[in-house]
Chain A
Amino acid sequence: MKLNDVPQDKKHFNDKDVELRKVLYVTDKNGQYTQTHSYGWESENIALEQAWGEIFEQEEQVKQEIREGIASPIKYFMIKNRMDIGILASYVGKWQWQVKRHCKASVFKNLSENVLQKYAQVFNMEVSDLRSFKG
C-alpha cells in the first residue's frame, strides 16, 4: 500500500470509545517502507460492525427466551460478556455440558448459591442481580 492510499475511515462504534490510530507500514514515493497512522478502513469497519451486530441480535433473542421462561440469565450475560459456552465453562471451572444446562431456566432456578456466585463473579455482578434478571 502506498502512503497516499492509506484510508482514514473514522467510525464511532461507541461514544465512550477512545480514538485509536493504528500503525501501518506503507511505501513512500520512493518505494521505501515507512510507518504511518490510520484511523480505520471501511472494510474492517463493516466486519467489526457485523460482529457487534451479531452480539446485539443474540442479546435481544436471549432476552425474549428469558421472558418466555426458556433461557436463564446466565445465557444472556454470557453473550453480553462476549463469551461462548467453552470460554464460560473454563472461567467457572465446569464442563461445557454443565454450563449448557445452566443456560436453561428450569435448571437455573435450582442452582445453589455457591454455583451462582461463581457465575456472578465472572460476570462481575451481584448474585441477586443475576438471579433477578428478567430480560
Chain B
Amino acid sequence: MDRRKFLKTMGSIGLFTIVPRNVLGGVGYIAPSDQLTKGIIGTGGIGMSSSHFSSSKACRLVAVCDVDKKHLDNAVTQGKNLFDEDLKAYDDFRDLISNSGVDIVHIATPPHWHAIMAIEAAKAGKDVWCEKPMTRTIGEGKAVVEAMKRYNRIFRLNTWFRFKDTFYGLGTTVQPLKKLVDSGMLGWPLKVTVSGANGFAWKFFWVGKEHLVPQPVPSNLNYDMWLGPAPFKPYNAHRTHQTFRGYWDYDGGGLTDMGQHYLDPVQYLLGKDDTSPVKVEVDAPQQHSDAVGTWRKIVYTYADGCQIVLEGEGYESKGKVPFIEGPKGKVFRNFECSIPDVMNKIAELPDPAPQRTDFLECVRTRQKFALNEVNGHRSCTLVNMGAVALRLNRKELSFDPVKQLFVNDDAANALIDQPMRGPWHL
C-alpha cells in the first residue's frame, strides 16, 4: 500500500487515533501517516537553493517542474544524487499540481506566475509554499487570498524575518523590536527608515536593459510557457532566468526582490497586518516602460501617521540614522536605543503572541502559518504600491486600504487588475 492509499483509507475509516509521534518512535520520528510530500515549480536559482531543494523524512520532495529542460534535467539528476529520489519531472506546472501524490506545491518561479499557480494549487487541494514577492499585482494578491480561503488551504509566503533570524543591520531578531514598539516607550506614530545606513541594501543590479535585440529562443526553453500571462515580447536571454527581475512584465527590480523581506517585518512591528498605507511617495529617475530602473526614495504613510521610508540608490542617509523613530525614542542599528537600559525594560514585558512558524506543523494542524496569504498580501501590497507609482512615474499616489484601490487615479488602478495574455487568467 503506498502512502497515499494508506492516508485515504485512514481518512475514510477515521477511527484511528494518531499516537503522538514522539511516543511511537522517539524524538524526531515521523510516522508515515505524518509524512508530507512536495513538488517544486521552477528549478532555476531559488528553487535549486539548498534551503528549498530539500527532501526529508518530514517532507519528501517527489516532483519538479520547469519550462527549461536544462533546469529540469539538472533537478532530476540532483534529486537522485542528493536524496536518492526518482523525481517526477514536468514541463507543465498543471501536471505537477494534478499529481495526487503531491501535498505541497512550492512555487519558485518568477512572480508573474505566482498567483496563477497558487490558485491552481488551491483548486486542486494543495497547500502552498510561495517565494517572495507574493504576487506581481495587488489584484493577484486579493485573488490568492480568496482562493486560499475558499478551499481552506495553508499558505506560506517565504520570507521569515518577522519570526526568525537577525534582521539585517539591526543585529537582533524582530521580536525585541516588536516588544519595544508594543510597549509604547517610543511613542506614536513611528517612522521606520529602511536604509543602507541600517544594513538594508537594495539590489539595484536588478535593472533591465532598455534595448533588447531579439534573439532566437534556445531549444531547451519553452518561452511561451515561461511568459505565460505576461505580454508577448521577442525573446532575449536577459528577460529570463537570473535577470528577469529587471522587467516590469515579470517583476520589479530591487524593490520587489528585497521589499517583502524588509517590509513584512515592519508591517508586523507596526501592527499593520490587516491594513495598508494611505499614501506612497516616490523619488526616482524616470522609469522605462519595459526595463526596471533604480529609485532614490519611497515613503509610505499610514492613516495614523506612521511612516516607512525606503532609501535607495544614492540616497542613503549619511551617518547614523534611526531605524525606528518615535516622539519618545529612537532605535538604531544593532539595537542601540535612545532609551536607557531598554533591554531590561522590555524583558519585563510578555513576549509577543506566539507565531506559528513550523510550516509542516501548520499543514498538519491546519493552522495559519505566521506569514500567510493574508498578511503576506498586505506586505506585498506595500511593494506593489511602490512599483505602481514607479511605473507610472507618479510622485505620489493615495490608496484606500479597505477597498484596496488607489484614490482618484484610474491609470494606477489599471495596474491593480491587469488583463493577462490568453489563455491565462486568474
Asked whether A and B interact, the reply is no
